[in-house]
Structure 1
Amino acid sequence: MRDYCIRTATPEDLDGARAVMLDTVYRDFGTGYVPRWHGDIIDPVAAYLGSARHTLLVAVEPVEGDVVATAALDSRGPAYPPNPRHVAERFPSGRTAQLRRVYVRPEHRRRGLARRLVEELMAFAEADGGYRSVYLHTDPSVPGAEGFWRSLGKLVHDEREDAGGGQGIVHFEIPMGK
């Protein structure tokens, strides 16, 4: 296994991080860039590096030095709408650490990178002292995503079970203090 370097993103990492994120939303999600959903991808400095309570991590491949994975955390809880009201109320902004953009390039998957990145994000959230819960949502159509998050967290709400299927999103809470 390669010895990837996992670290807080630096200004030099931002182009590589953006590329990983944009490639993921185009390839895996099939949505492409949607400004109301993906503004943080274009301006990660404002979204993640401008606040001591937010972070953007990258995994860097040791030989070429390329960013091959990302993971972010911020203090913005899920908004209602588009998320279900009870989910938004359970995870209020300021007290909720939301995991975002846990993306790994396909050729680097199945090597433990996502798990390592999430462990680092969880340590960051716990060290902050102000977070009471850790939330994330995932698109279950992305291969491996739902199973990965089920292995780490507790299912809070599955929109596929809603009348009409909602957005088809699955919402999770990751236990703190593990």
Structure 2
Amino acid sequence: MDKVPMTVRGEQLLRHELEALMKRRPIISQAIGEARELGDLKENAEYHAAREEQGICEAQIRDIEYKLSVAQVIDVTKMNNTGKVIFGVTVNLIDVETDEEVTYQIVGDDEADIKAGRISVNSPIARGLIGKEEGDEVVIATPGGQKEFEIEKVEYI
């Protein structure tokens, strides 16, 4: 079984989500019990809705437990800052063509959120940056075409 990289923040978010789902379990079970008391189960919408909610909740719990079991949590704050782009770092880039600055943190697939500045380690930009250093210029093939960036700063935060 291959390990999947994950940041400390990503692991914490998954654990909080798992905790919230575990707290919902008894509430859903109680709703099923109450709906059962209403009579005929064939035509009991409350019962069927509660059972469906229970199935979704259990599937989410299994999914999160699996993700946590294969996670390799990487804490970049405990690594030596070599200025190299690796999983978990925050990278400040300058678009060579437009001088626009952009900042990304390289994270696992489940943590990626482009609007929050977190890109997947498997994205074209992250793959093009991994292994490079501060001051390097990189050309990255993106869906919108070739983009040239200068790596201004690599932060191990």
TM score, norm. by length of structure 1? 0.22
TM score, norm. by length of structure 2? 0.24
